[in-house]
Structures are given as C-alpha cells and as structure tokens.
Chain A
Amino acid sequence: MNLLFDFRVDKETNTIHITREFAADLDVVWDAFTKAEILDQWMGPKPYRVQTKEMDFRVGGRWLYTMITSDNEAPTRYSLAEFIEIHPKTDFTTKNSFSDENGNPVNSGFTFSMTKNTFKAGVEKTTVQIAKKMSSLAELEQFIAGGYYEKGMAMGMNNLDEYLLSLVVSK
C-alpha cells in the first residue's frame, strides 16, 4: 500500500505540518499515539527509542519520557508532554518541553512547542495530521539538536553530510 507522507514548514508561523497515512483502523492508530506501551515501541529516531516514565492520558495529565539507545543506559534528559485538550478518537493537543526526571522544567534554551494531532478514519487506513508550532524557528533547531543529538550520536551529522553531498551532486 502506498502511504502518503507530507511534510511542510510554515516559516511565518513557525509551524511544521505533517500528514501521514497508516494502514490500520482509527482505534489502533489512536492507541499507538496515546498508549505508553505502544509509543515506547516506535517513538524516537533511530538509534534512539522512547522510554516512558509516567503516562496519564487525560486533560491536565502528562506523559513524561526519555530517549535511550539501550536498556542499561542512565537517561540524562527527559521530555514532557502535557495534555491540553483531548477529543477521543478525533484529536489531542500537547504542550511539549524538556524537563528533569520528575517533570520539572530545565533550562534548555528551549521554551515549549504546541502539538496538535488529528485523526481521520479512511478505508483500511487512518490519516494523522500533526501540527507542531514552535515559539521560533531557532527553537526548532534547538529541538532537533538538543532533543535528539545531545549525546553526540553521528546520525544527525550523517544526514547533514548526505544532504550536502546531494547539493554538490545536483550542481
């Protein structure tokens, strides 16, 4: 099955719009985005994966998680998603920030972003729309650099190399 993936950035509003189709029913996809035991299986860019410390999926509740590469690694930084709005099987909105292991804010230079995830049922597939609004594009850079690559993993740089190479080659 050919699954749509659309990625757009509105630099005027500092918002990233992502649309992705998934080959599963709405109920299953909704669970994959809202249940810790499933989120832990797929969230996080390789070689990282998410490890949930707390999950309380209700308005006013929060999801506290960290990114690790292996089980016996001591996490240094946590991420916090606070649930601002939830309309079951339709959409939910989170306020995202970095925190310590207890969910207290840390001074990361990054303030917060707001993310709205919208779910639409289709024929044998479900469309998820993600709108992630940062306070500035500078924070997007920090989000990428700080949230994912703080341990100096080479992945980000590899992507950058590939991109630079593609520029050179296309000239």
Chain B
Amino acid sequence: MRRDIFQAIADPTRRAILVLIAVHAMTPNAIAEHFDITRQSISKHLRILSECELLAQKNEGREIFYELKLEKMKEIDIWLDQFRKIMEAQFQRLDEVLFTIKNKKK
C-alpha cells in the first residue's frame, strides 16, 4: 500500500499527534496520555506516520522518543503551491478574456 503525507494528515488523531510532537519529541506513552483511545490504536497511528516517513526515532536509555520530520511536512505545501500557480495562470487568462469582451462592447 502506498503511504504518503496526505494519508498521514487524513486522520484527525494523526493530525493531533503531529501537532504534539512538532513541539518536542515524545515517547509513545506520553503521546497516548493525550488521547482517549487505546494504546494499541495510538501504536497503529504511529506506525502509519512512520511509514509516511514523518517520524524520526531517538533512543534515550530504554525509552523511544518520536519527533517530527519537518522537511517532510513541506511536501504538502509543494502541492498546494502548485495548485496556487495553476489558479494564478488561469485567472490571468480570464483577465485577457474580460479585456477582450470590454473592448468589443465599446
């Protein structure tokens, strides 16, 4: 199954996890404390985020800390920026069309 950043942010729990760990690295237990769902489903969300390559793992002693790979989050903005450019170019064409219509009326 294809995993990408858009699947990562498609789910509200995963979005909330991303917001949490964007501030500082956290252990799975500390993350789970913020949610009213099973530890198992938190693990599932963490696995998906990891498969989307959004999580970096750090080991400190026996504890695993997850942190957010910020550069990866930029992929979303890349796509959005493309869409913005598409709309920009399209509207410039409309400007020309409107200009032509106005001139015909005169």
Give the nearest-CB partner of A139 in chain B.
Answer: B6
Confirm or deny: B7 has a beta carbon within 8 angstroms of a beta carbon on chain A. yes
Across-interface contacts of A16 in B (CB, < 8 A): 80, 83
Given contacts A3-B95, A28-B101, contact A137 B85 (CB under 8 A): no
CB <8 Å contact, A42 and B83: no
Identify A7's interface contact among B6, B7, B78, B84, CB under 8 A.
Answer: B84
The answer for the CA separation of A125 and B16 in the assembled complex, in Å, is 42
CB <8 Å contact, A32 and B97: yes
Stretch of B39-47, B59-67, B86-94 on the interface side: B86-94
Across-interface contacts of B89 in A (CB, < 8 A): 45-46
CB <8 Å contact, B6 and A38: no
CB <8 Å contact, B10 and A138: yes
The answer for the CA separation of A43 and B89 in the assembled complex, in Å, is 10
Give the nearest-CB partner of A29 in chain B.
Answer: B98
Given contacts A28-B101, A137-B6, A163-B81, contact A11 B94 (CB under 8 A): no
Q: Spell out A's residues near B (CB within 8 Å).
A: 3, 5, 7, 9, 11-12, 16, 18, 20, 22-24, 28-29, 32, 38, 41-46, 136-138, 140-141, 143-144, 148, 156, 159-160, 163-164, 167
Given contacts A28-B102, A137-B10, A138-B6, contact A43 B95 (CB under 8 A): no
Instruction: Identify 19 residue pairs between A and B in the complex whose beta-carbon atoms are under 8 Å apart, listed by A's number.
Output: A7-B87, A7-B88, A11-B9, A16-B83, A22-B91, A24-B98, A32-B94, A42-B90, A45-B89, A46-B89, A46-B93, A140-B80, A140-B83, A144-B83, A144-B86, A148-B86, A156-B82, A160-B78, A167-B74
The A-B contact count (CB < 8 A) is: 85
Interface residues on B, range: 20 to 34
Across-interface contacts of B86 in A (CB, < 8 A): 45, 144, 148
Question: Sorted from nearest, which 3 A-B pairs have the closest CB atoms?
Answer: A138-B6, A45-B86, A42-B93
Identify B87's interface contact among A18, A38, A138, CB under 8 A.
Answer: A18
CB <8 Å contact, A160 and B82: yes
